Structures are given as C-alpha cells and as structure tokens.
Chains A and B, each alone.
Chain A
C-alpha cells in the first residue's frame, strides 16, 4: 500500500481495514493525534486527507478514528506533526496568544480543522472557519477564544491570499504550510492506487466503524470508487452514491442549504449519501430529505441495473431491499421548475453534530394558494425513514391555510409509531412531528399558525 504520511512516503503492506487512528498512534507513533471518543464526535483525532481533485491536491479534515487505511491509499495523510515547522506557524501562534488552548487535548484536532478552512475557504469568512471547527469538542475554553483566534487568523490571511490563486502553493509561500506541500500534488499523482476488493462494502465508514468495528477489523473490505459525481440534467438530478455530504452542501441543490444540520464538516467530508441510505437508520437525515423529493435508486448487480423508489427500499428496521452483491450506484430525483419548494426540519438535543429526535422533509408545489402536489417524510417516528403517505395525499388539492396544515399535522401524527428512547419519549416525538409539519409551512409560506 502506498500513501504519503506528512513528508514521508509510506510503501508497505498494511491492512486496509486498520483505522488510521490506530496506525498513526501505535505504528507511526504520531502521538499528536489524540483519541477522545472513537466515534467521530469529538475531533481530537482529526487529520487532513489530501487527494487529487483535477490537477490539484485538495485537503479536507477527517476523523482518523473513522478513517481506514483503505481510504488513505493513494492519498496524503497529514497529522499535526506534518504541519509543524521550526517555529510556530501563524495558526499555532494565534491559538497560543488567544489562550484558545487550555488543557490542550483538543488543540491538534482543532488546528487541523483550521487548516481545512484555510485550504478550502475562498473568501476566508470567519463564519466558515467556525463551521470548519464545529466538530471539535473543547470542554475548557467555552469556544470564545477559539472564535477570536479564527477571526484573527482570517484577517491575517485575507490580506495575503488571493481568492483566485491556487491555495496550497500560496499557503506554502506564506509559510502556513511546510515547504514539502509544494510538490505534494506531483508525488500524489505518482502513487499506486489499485482497487481494494473484498466482501464487505465500505463507503465513508462513518457509521460502520461505530456500529460494527469488530466485523470491519476481521473482514476483507471493498472500497467503492468513482461514484462521487453529481449530474444535473434538465429535469433530473443524479447523485452518485459515493458523493459526500459536504459535496451535497456545496452543490447548490434544492436541499443543499439544510446540509449544515448534518454531522459536522469533518464528518460531512467522509459520510456519503449512499452510506446514509444503505445504513437505513430510521432517523437518517438524507433518507428523510430524499424521501420527500420522491427519489429513486439505481441498483447494480453484475452490470444489471434496476431502479427502485426510495420509499420502497426500506422494508423494516435496518432491513432493505438489496440483493447480495448489489451496489447502490446513484440516487436521482426530479427537480421540475421553480414552483417546487423544499424544506427540511430537524430537532435534536444539540443543533449540530447530533442525531435528530425527529426530522422531516417536505417538497411541495402550490399555485394560487392551492396545493398542487405535496410529499412529506419523517424520521425517528417509525422503524424506517418514513414517507408520510396519508399526509401527502391529504394535502393535494387543499387550499393553503392554517386549518389545512393543522389537520395535516394531525394526520402525520396518526401514521407514525415512535418509541421512547434516549432521544425522547414517544409522546414527545409525536408532538414534535406535528410541530415540524407546521414548521414546514411557516418556513416556506410564512403561514400564520398558532401552535
């Protein structure tokens, strides 16, 4: 297996199923990578993963606990040690000056995320910097000093970096990145990257490694590749199953603006739309969005394609209509005209990087205060991500008014069967779903509804 690790070439036999975190800490002995939770929820083990996108390398933050060496093959893995130069770089210096590091355990992962921001944010808007570090849990600072540091770092580079120049060489010029980054692209292009084939199919592995770590460690893995394109046709959008949540966020699709409620940037860089669907979590955010958009799946087995509506794909709790060996190729939905409106609602204990108590999607067409067509979905209220069939049917041909919407919210509550768990009692979930149905209409049409 070949990959770049900081300024070194790694070229040896390594297991594709080994989490990068374990490799880095125990084999490469890079102890700047900390282990905080092993579930991608704290950011202490963050690393940068660089890969060629077109002619240039692109670096994005990843949780190394949810990153397998199979993902790293042919890529450039950068740890905090790989960003160190003889003197502190400006990011490190600013974090120190602003006292944005107290116990220090989250600091390396934080700095990695700041680099994701510096490498990828054209405008260097500090709010994008905040988004970049949103997956880093700091229990000491209260984040105020981290915000101050991000502001200061942004201001420094805003005057020095041109949004139109290639960012990586510019960051090398500004001594933000060590000199070896200058020819990383060339080195990356020369790496061997043969397909890794096995029995257990792996996409982003962000859920797989949390739910089934032992199975992963004992399996021969199959790493999906070349499924990461989004195609926008005139009436249809086709999303490759390997497209990441972060790609979707930046793709300008009808649901893109809601993607900031999904995971954190570090996880969005890894999690794929296909993974979210195959995982079939009853609360899967993308499943719920795509259900409302009446998405269809293209499934492939031995070069034979079949298509299936997403709502028919979920059979029961974590049970799906997928044949052995079948691979989800893409997901598509019709995006007809400007009168199609879409909204997504999600309530969780914490707004970001949390699993919803209840989520809901709504796609709707309204003409002259009359609902032409509606398609609603909900998660967290049934064993599967649920298409709200009765609610959707009820709304068609109804006039768009508060009474209709309140009735619809009651119908929605009647077609779900939530259970009580750590994310809320069933009474709450049912009540919350009603509220979220109302929220769709308040948000989309500014309806005056008193709950």
Chain B
C-alpha cells in the first residue's frame, strides 16, 4: 500500500486520542496455578490518576470469553490457571499512571501443583475436549505384513506470532449505551459477540471496526478479544474512551502461541517404500483454556497423512489441558504439527531402507480419487505433478549429487537437501463458518465502495477483492475503494482465517458486483436500444458487441441514478458441498486442496554447530493466481516463518513462565537468515471451486518450511555417517551441536 511507504498508514495505536482517553494496564497472575486468597486493590485505587479498576465483579453480563468452549473467564475470580492470566485492569489518565497503579495491586495465592507437560496432563485425564480418533482401515491387521515398521517420537515447540503490531484496542462510548470498538482483530464479529455477552447489551449497540492489522498470522483471531472486551467494559462503565495496548514483553508473556505437540508415530512399509499403514498420536499442549484448540486438533487430524495416500490409518488426538497461557491459531492451524510427524516417520523409514526420503515421498503421493482418512476423495490432485515438476525444474537429482560431492570435499561443513510435498485442505473445518457477506455501493460519480467481512493484515486480501470487483464491474481498479471492515456494514462475519479470506469474501463481493452490473447493463441496453445480452462493460467503457458507444461507466451510473435504479447491492456466499460428521469422523470438510512441493537446501557448520538454510524452491499450486506478486509474497513469507519455527524460534519456559519474552531472547528470522527463494506457479492449474479459478494461499506455503528441518538433519547425517531418528524442533544451535555429538 502506498500509505505504508509514506508512514501514513494508521494502526489502532496511531489513531487520534480523545482528550479524556483512559489507558489500561492489565494485571495478571504471577503463578501458574492456584487459588486467589485475597486481592487488595485499595492502594492502586487511591493512586493519583487511577480512574478505575476493572475486575470480575464489575462485569454486568457473563465473565466468559470462550469461543468454542465456555471455559475462559475475562478476569480470574477464585483461581488462576496460568501465569499471565488477567485478574484486573487498571484504567488511568496515562499509560505510565496505569502501570504505576498496576504495581500497587497486591494478591495472595494458595499455590496448587501445575502441569506443563501434555502427556502428563493426558495421563491425569486433564483434557480440553474428548479424545478424537480418525480411522481408515485397520493398521493393526497390517503391521505383520509390512517389510519394515518404524516407531518413534516427534516434537515441535511453541511459536510466537510476533506480529509487529502488538495487541491493541480503542473503545469509544457512543450515544445510547452504544460502543464503537476499534480493535486489531481478525474476528470483528467474535469481538462484538463476546462484548455483547460480557456487557449484557445487544450486538446492534456494538460497532467493531478494523482498518487493518500490523500482522496477525492467527494471533489475533481469538487472542485480540480479551483486550477489546476489557477496553469495551471500561468505556461502557465509565462512559470514557479507553485504550489498551500491550507492550511487546507483555504480549509475548500472556498471549497464545502455536501449540507445542509431542507425538508418537508408527509407520509400516513394504520394501519398495510403499506406506501400508500409519498410526500417530498427538499430544497437543492446549494450555489452560480451550481457545481454538479443538478446531486446531481437528485440522491436525485431517492433515495427518499430508500429501500421501495410505490405506490403513489411525490418528488419535489429545487436547491436553496444562497451566500455560492458552495456545491458539497460527498459520497452518495444527496442520504443520501433523505434517512434521509424518515427515519424521518417512525420514526415519528412509534411513532404515537406506534410500533418500524423496523415494518414499514420491511413491505415496495422492492420485486422483485417492481417499483421505476422513473419507473425502481427492479431486484434481496436483500432488504428483507438482512433485515431478519440482524435481525436474530444480534439477533435484543433480542437486543430490552436487551435495554429495560438496560433502566429500568439505570436512567440517556439510550440506543437506530435502523435498517437502504439501497438501492443505481449504475451508473452515467447522462448516458453518464458511460464509461471507459483501456490500457494494456505487456513488453517482461512478466511484465504488466495497465492504466485506475480510480483514486486511498484509496478506493482500483487499487488493485481491478490489481486483475481483474491478473485473466483475468492468472498471479500473482505481475507481474502487476497499472500505474498513465494520460490523455495522457487514454483520455476522467469520474471522479472516483458514486462508479463506479472498475465497469467500471475494466471491461475496463478486456476487454483489454481479447484481449491480446486471442492473446497469439493463439500463444501458434500454438507453442504447439493444438487448442486454449484447452489452458489456470493459475498462469503464460501455460496449455493444465489443464496439464502443457514447456511454461510459460514469454516464451510465448517472443515468441509472436518475432512473432510480438501486446502485448498491448486498450478497452472501456459502460454498456448497462441504459437510462433516464428527460422530462418524467422516465427511468432506474441504472445498478443495492446495498442493505443491519445495526443495530446501541447508548447510551445517559441524564445528560450531550452526546452520544456514541456503535455498528454498517451490512449485506451488495457486490455481489461477489472482495476483502473482501477492501470492509470491505469501509463499516467501510462509516459508521463512516456518524456517524460524524449525530452527531459531525457541520458546523457553521455566515453571510456567516464559523466559524468551522479548526480541532479544526470542529470535525470529532476520534478512540474513532468510534463504534465497524461488517460487514457480504450477502451470495450468484451474480451480473451479474458488473465485476466478484461484486457490487460497495464506497457510499452505508454511508447510514447505518444514523441509528445512530434514535438510539440516541430512547435513548432520553426512557428518556423522549414522542414522539419526531424534525428531525435535526447533533446531537451535544447542540441539544441532547435540545431534552432531551425542
């Protein structure tokens, strides 16, 4: 966006501050588990400049912000379940005063034993939701007939979103007990619904507006809600505007992250590398409340077999309740964790068979009509094609040879290569969320406003919808303004998540534009005295059988207005054919799947125990890409984010407290870590299931980055010349050195 480069883009914290604005500071639990014996707010209340202290007992409605399961209070009342759980919020005339007030709050706890390990929680029966098992065939009947069975453990760590804009909300009281909430959220309707519940006021009194987010990646789907509700509560009770923004360290300490998973796998193959059976159990560390954990586990189950067809499969998922801040959505939504497990199993099996993992990968890729464990058959599978193209375009076998040569020549520096085929299902797995609305308004000068429920967070959903609207209306993109996301204009929105933003909102916008286009064509046909079928609009010109006329978009809009033709249209879109039966664990939860294959090259300094990801190349199935530039940006960004997850991003906990709570200790990739990236769009991929034959792009490319783990492991194997089957990410230098030595 042009304004980004001029520093003129406004995020929540940049909005003009009303003179009577109050600032919030959130007081949180300092222990991971215990009862609140006493809470002394008196000193804080009397601190000059402190205007109010919000606690559970001031909530007019329900003290409940749970989304899927109602298990999360806004403010802890009698007990605390994680370090960082909000207990109170201080409102004061300045941020400094609010922080001073917060330091004066005194709380006494009776500590209770905490649980941090998901397996321990599962053993104790501490589960967020019932265990889920996805079965196809029966692996137990197959193990004996396998030539090889490998078993092991694979673990991935937590990942902080590190959106550059921290959590923020500004709540402004409106006339008649109403509220306007400017929230940095991916889920404006969730904020509206939960504010309504907590304040006990109807949803129509609450306007939630989102201009844009300074990054989110899932971290503002559910996790933006508490701060918005607190600000709303303050604004509602005090009739004053309230702003709450989290300091980076606070944000890292108390908000949710990608779930750590500890998993078991078992894979059976024949001697040719055909996978005959696969079994996995995921112990998902969900933290102290459900947040989106059950939905994330569901996506893990659905992505257990990645891009492979396996006849006999049993996948079990445990959402384990621990005393850590509730974990949440993060790009990939449980799929990356599951893909890491099966890729670990394949890597393990490849070593046992003495072949490169790519041999096993290739043998088992999904073919047309192969079935996923959840029963759905694959349509228009591009798994094999993208794999083959990646191997040929990026000269994979030559690369393997070169890598071997390099490793023979170099004693202390070794290289490794890995292929990463991916398959990612598109749609919210919770079927009802797959709906979107749009409102398109044409003004009498011919300029157009497009409203949708999509939230722009850098992923380019607005420029994509702008393009769709321009193509549909037949006018230049510059005539179209993408409006802020606002619950008053588009109600009942689904969160902008699950990579679905452009798919469903773009389709709704297209439908609305289509309605207006039809009305205008009819009007033009009347003016020109021809049948509507002959009229078209192209680049702002009105054509009859492709010949230009005197009518332009502007003059047509003007005459339509004078003829009292409706120049606004609302539309609703809900993709058809998706369903899922949780009792049977069968159905067709996805509209379609995204495929692709990446080649990742890594280098390990075997003396110092450090690594570098040299290159990432991907053949990606973007359907008929809506915007190459934007889609390329999503591929590159996703890969590097996953490389961070696999290598340097280590969330360090000590007794439930996050130690890596700032950018000095939590290291996301910088420009030097980022590899050279080459992305090629899979040729002639047309997707009839989504808007303008495109495919969703946000999450799938993240999975490519998982290949970096195995590339590094292969480099280490080249140094040690022995089998390595310890699968645990991230590969920090400490882990690398341990893999090189132990």
Pair A350/B667 contact, Cβ less than 8 Å: yes
Of residues 617 through 643 on chain B, the ones whose CB sits less than 8 Å from some CB of chain A are: 629-630, 632-633, 636-641
Please, how many angstroms separate the alpha-carbon atoms of A32 and B5 in the complex? Answer: 9
**Interface segment out of the listed B35-43, B185-193, B208-216, B565-573:** B208-216
Pair B670/A350 contact, Cβ less than 8 Å: yes
19 more A-B residue pairs beyond the given contacts A80-B6, A107-B7, with a C-beta to C-beta distance below 8 A: A36-B165, A36-B166, A37-B662, A39-B248, A39-B663, A41-B662, A91-B5, A105-B164, A105-B215, A130-B671, A138-B164, A140-B215, A141-B637, A144-B640, A432-B733, A435-B737, A442-B412, A442-B607, A449-B607
Task: Give which listed residue, A41, A139, A357, contacts B641 with CB less than 8 A.
Answer: A139
Pair A92/B6 contact, Cβ less than 8 Å: yes
Pair A143/B663 contact, Cβ less than 8 Å: no
* Closest chain B residue, CB of each to CB of A132: B671
- 6 A-B residue contacts at CB 8 Å? A36-B164, A103-B163, A105-B11, A111-B5, A347-B610, A451-B607
Please, how many angstroms separate the alpha-carbon atoms of A334 and B378 in the complex? Answer: 72
Please, how many angstroms separate the alpha-carbon atoms of A144 and B677 in the complex? Answer: 7
Pair B460/A102 contact, Cβ less than 8 Å: yes
Interface membership of A79, Cβ < 8 A: yes
* Closest chain B residue, CB of each to CB of A351: B672
Q: Which B residues are within 8 Å of any A CB, using their own CB?
A: 1-11, 13-14, 161-166, 212-217, 247-248, 411-412, 457-460, 606-610, 629-630, 632-633, 636-641, 648, 650, 652, 659-660, 662-665, 667-674, 676-677, 732-734, 737-738, 741
Q: What residues of chain B lie closer than 8 Å to A350, measured between beta carbons?
A: 648, 667, 669-670, 673
Pair B13/A35 contact, Cβ less than 8 Å: yes
Do A139 and B7 form a contact, CB below 8 Å, given A349-B648, A352-B672, A438-B607?
no
Tell me, rounded to whole Å, the shortest Cβ–Cβ distance linking B370 to chain A. Answer: 32
Task: Report A93-105 CB contacts with B as 1/0, cut-off 8 Å.
Answer: 1011001011111
* Closest chain A residue, CB of each to CB of B213: A103
Task: Give which listed residue, A95, A134, A139, contacts B671 with CB less than 8 A.
Answer: A134
Please, how many angstroms separate the alpha-carbon atoms of A424 and B652 in the complex? Answer: 10
Please, how many angstroms separate the alpha-carbon atoms of A349 and B733 in the complex? Answer: 6
Please, how many angstroms separate the alpha-carbon atoms of A36 and B168 in the complex? Answer: 12
Please, how many angstroms separate the alpha-carbon atoms of A331 and B645 in the complex? Answer: 41
Tell me, rounded to whole Å, the shortest Cβ–Cβ distance linking B479 to chain A. Answer: 19
Pair B457/A103 contact, Cβ less than 8 Å: yes
Please, how many angstroms separate the alpha-carbon atoms of A88 and B7 in the complex? Answer: 12
Q: What residues of chain B lie closer than 8 Å to A436, measured between beta carbons?
A: 608
Please, how many angstroms separate the alpha-carbon atoms of A422 and B738 in the complex? Answer: 17
Pair B668/A104 contact, Cβ less than 8 Å: no
Do A143 and B640 form a contact, CB below 8 Å, given A34-B164, A347-B608?
yes
Please, how many angstroms separate the alpha-carbon atoms of A107 and B637 in the complex? Answer: 15
Tell me, rounded to whole Å, the shortest Cβ–Cβ distance linking A67 to chain B. Answer: 17
Pair B734/A428 contact, Cβ less than 8 Å: yes
Interface membership of A329, Cβ < 8 A: no
Task: Give which listed residue, A102, A107, A134, A428, contacts B737 with CB less than 8 A.
Answer: A428
Pair B607/A439 contact, Cβ less than 8 Å: yes
Q: What residues of chain A lie closer than 8 Å to B732, measured between beta carbons?
A: 349
Do A348 and B733 form a contact, CB below 8 Å, given A42-B663, A80-B6?
yes
Pair A99/B610 contact, Cβ less than 8 Å: no
Do A355 and B664 form a contact, CB below 8 Å, given A42-B164, A142-B636, A348-B733?
yes
Q: What residues of chain A lie closer than 8 Å to B665, measured between beta carbons?
A: 355, 422-423
Pair B671/A84 contact, Cβ less than 8 Å: no
Tell me, rounded to whole Å, the shortest Cβ–Cβ distance linking B648 to chain A. Answer: 5
Pair B7/A81 contact, Cβ less than 8 Å: yes
Pair A145/B636 contact, Cβ less than 8 Å: yes
Pair A103/B636 contact, Cβ less than 8 Å: no
* Most A CB within 10 A of own CB, among B2, B606, B652, B734: B734
Interface membership of A55, Cβ < 8 A: no
Q: What residues of chain A lie closer than 8 Å to B670, measured between beta carbons?
A: 134-137, 143, 264, 350, 352-353
Pair A41/B637 contact, Cβ less than 8 Å: no
Pair A32/B667 contact, Cβ less than 8 Å: no
Pair B734/A357 contact, Cβ less than 8 Å: yes
* Chain B at the A interface: SS class: loop
* Closest chain A residue, CB of each to CB of B457: A103
* Closest chain B residue, CB of each to CB of A26: B17
Task: Give which listed residue, B1, B162, B163, B640, contacts A101 with CB less than 8 A.
Answer: B1
Pair B662/A142 contact, Cβ less than 8 Å: no
Do A354 and B606 form a contact, CB below 8 Å, given A88-B5, A92-B6?
no
Q: What residues of chain B lie closer than 8 Å to A31, measured between beta carbons?
A: 7, 10, 14
Tell me, rounded to whole Å, the shortest Cβ–Cβ distance linking B22 to chain A. Answer: 16
Tell me, rounded to whole Å, the shortest Cβ–Cβ distance linking A166 to chain B. Answer: 26
Pair B7/A84 contact, Cβ less than 8 Å: yes
Interface membership of A108, Cβ < 8 A: yes
Pair A102/B637 contact, Cβ less than 8 Å: yes
* Closest chain A residue, CB of each to CB of B639: A142
Pair A36/B248 contact, Cβ less than 8 Å: yes
Please, how many angstroms separate the alpha-carbon atoms of A348 and B460 in the complex? Answer: 34
Q: What residues of chain A lie closer than 8 Å to B4, measured between beta carbons?
A: 96, 101, 104, 107-108
> What count of chain A residues pass the 8 Å CB interface test?
79
Do A349 and B671 form a contact, CB below 8 Å, given A36-B248, A435-B737?
no
Q: What residues of chain A lie closer than 8 Å to B165, measured between beta carbons?
A: 34, 36, 103, 105
Pair A99/B637 contact, Cβ less than 8 Å: no
Q: What residues of chain A lie closer than 8 Å to B8, measured between beta carbons?
A: 32
Please, how many angstroms separate the alpha-carbon atoms of A166 and B13 in the complex? Answer: 39
Task: Give which listed residue, A111, A142, A345, contacts B674 with CB less than 8 A.
Answer: A142
* Closest chain B residue, CB of each to CB of A436: B608
Pair A435/B608 contact, Cβ less than 8 Å: yes
Pair A104/B458 contact, Cβ less than 8 Å: yes
Please, how many angstroms separate the alpha-carbon atoms of A108 and B165 in the complex? Answer: 13
Q: What residues of chain B lie closer than 8 Å to A448, measured between beta carbons?
A: 411
Pair B737/A432 contact, Cβ less than 8 Å: yes
Interface membership of A280, Cβ < 8 A: no
Interface membership of A106, Cβ < 8 A: yes
* Closest chain A residue, CB of each to CB of B673: A350
Tell me, rounded to whole Å, the shortest Cβ–Cβ distance linking B615 to chain A. Answer: 11
Do A140 and B458 form a contact, CB below 8 Å, given A37-B248, A104-B214, A105-B214?
yes
Tell me, rounded to whole Å, the shortest Cβ–Cβ distance linking A132 to chain B. Answer: 10
Please, how many angstroms separate the alpha-carbon atoms of A107 and B629 in the complex? Answer: 17
Tell me, rounded to whole Å, the shortest Cβ–Cβ distance linking B400 to chain A. Answer: 24
Pair B458/A96 contact, Cβ less than 8 Å: no
Pair B7/A431 contact, Cβ less than 8 Å: no
Tell me, rounded to whole Å, the shortest Cβ–Cβ distance linking B407 to chain A. Answer: 15
Task: Give which listed residue, B610, B659, B672, contacts A422 with CB less than 8 A.
Answer: B659
* Closest chain B residue, CB of each to CB of A44: B164
Please, how many angstroms separate the alpha-carbon atoms of A130 and B676 in the complex? Answer: 13
Do A144 and B674 form a contact, CB below 8 Å, given A38-B248, A102-B458, A422-B652?
yes
Please, how many angstroms separate the alpha-carbon atoms of A139 and B161 in the complex? Answer: 8
Tell me, rounded to whole Å, the shortest Cβ–Cβ distance linking B608 to chain A. Answer: 5
Q: What residues of chain B lie closer than 8 Å to A92, measured between beta carbons?
A: 2, 5-6
Interface membership of A398, Cβ < 8 A: no
Interface membership of A286, Cβ < 8 A: no
Tell me, rounded to whole Å, the shortest Cβ–Cβ distance linking B10 to chain A. Answer: 7
Interface membership of A133, Cβ < 8 A: yes
Of residues 10 through 39 on chain A, the ones whose CB sits less than 8 Å from some CB of chain B are: 30-39
* Most A CB within 10 A of own CB, among B10, B215, B648: B215
Do A354 and B667 form a contact, CB below 8 Å, given A31-B14, A143-B640, A144-B636?
yes
Tell me, rounded to whole Å, the shortest Cβ–Cβ distance linking B186 to chain A. Answer: 12
* Closest chain B residue, CB of each to CB of A111: B5
Please, how many angstroms separate the alpha-carbon atoms of A264 and B248 in the complex? Answer: 20
The 10 closest A-B pairs by CB, nearest first: A32-B7, A103-B458, A104-B4, A80-B7, A105-B214, A142-B640, A41-B663, A102-B458, A142-B636, A92-B5
Interface membership of A146, Cβ < 8 A: yes
Please, how many angstroms separate the alpha-carbon atoms of A165 and B472 in the complex? Answer: 53
Task: Give which listed residue, B13, B213, B458, B734, contacts A424 with CB less than 8 A.
Answer: B734
Of residues 408 through 447 on chain A, the ones whose CB sits less than 8 Å from some CB of chain B are: 421-425, 428, 431-432, 435-436, 438-439, 442
Please, how many angstroms separate the alpha-carbon atoms of A86 and B665 in the complex? Answer: 41
Please, how many angstroms separate the alpha-carbon atoms of A176 and B671 in the complex? Answer: 24
* Closest chain B residue, CB of each to CB of A352: B672
